[in-house]
């Protein structure tokens, strides 16, 4: 069995928790879950949802405080580039070139996850 530091496991579990909260929020807004945590060599797509006939790829970021710009500023240019390549990989692998696609960003802030910022079409 491969050993991983406890801090990584806690961090991953925390990420999955906030991704679940984001998914619940999006479902309450009318989106339907298709998948989550899609990994490839370029990176990861946190959530894959559907809104009408549109496939929506969602990046989720959580920050407990607004320090250093908070969650809303956590989607860096480098992360956007990796996300774009990961989405392209997913689209090719699942033959979705004929579909309407969108990439959204959910920023969650606050220790009680009370603040959700949903930004559509980030790419």
| Per-residue confidence (pLDDT) for residue 97, from 0 to 100 | 86
Exposed/middle/buried for 47, CB within 10 Å: 0-12, 13-18, 19+? buried
1 occurs within a structural domain: no
Give a yes or no: residue 17 inside a domain: yes
Please state the domain count of the chain.
1
Residue whose tokens read 């807004």: 29
Residue 12 or 95, more confident? 95
The reported pTM is 0.84
Total Cβ atoms within 10 A of residue 69: 9
Enclosing domain of residue 63: 6-119
64 vs 27, higher pLDDT: 27
* pLDDT value at residue 40: 94
Give the pLDDT confidence score for residue 66 in this predicted structure. 62
CATH number for the domain harbouring residue 21:
3.40.1350.10
Q: Which residues pair with 119 in a beta bridge?
A: 105
For range 32-45, the mean pLDDT: 94
Q: pLDDT-derived band of residue 8, with 50, 70 and 90 as boundaries?
A: very low
Average pLDDT for 9-14: 68
């Amino acid at each position: 069995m491969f050993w991983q530091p406890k801090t990584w496991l806690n961090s991953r579990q925390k990420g999955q928790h906030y991704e679940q909260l984001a998914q619940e929020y999006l479902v309450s807004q009318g989106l339907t879950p298709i998948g989550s945590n899609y990994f490839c060599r370029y990176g990861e797509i946190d959530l894959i949802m559907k809104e009408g006939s549109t496939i929506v790829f969602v990046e989720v970021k959580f920050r407990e405080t607004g320090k250093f710009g908070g969650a809303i500023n956590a989607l860096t240019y480098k992360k956007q580039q990796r996300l774009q390549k990961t989405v392209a990989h997913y689209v090719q692998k699942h033959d979705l070139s004929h579909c309407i696609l969108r990439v959204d960003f959910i920023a969650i802030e606050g220790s009680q996850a009370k603040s959700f910022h949903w930004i559509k079409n980030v790419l």
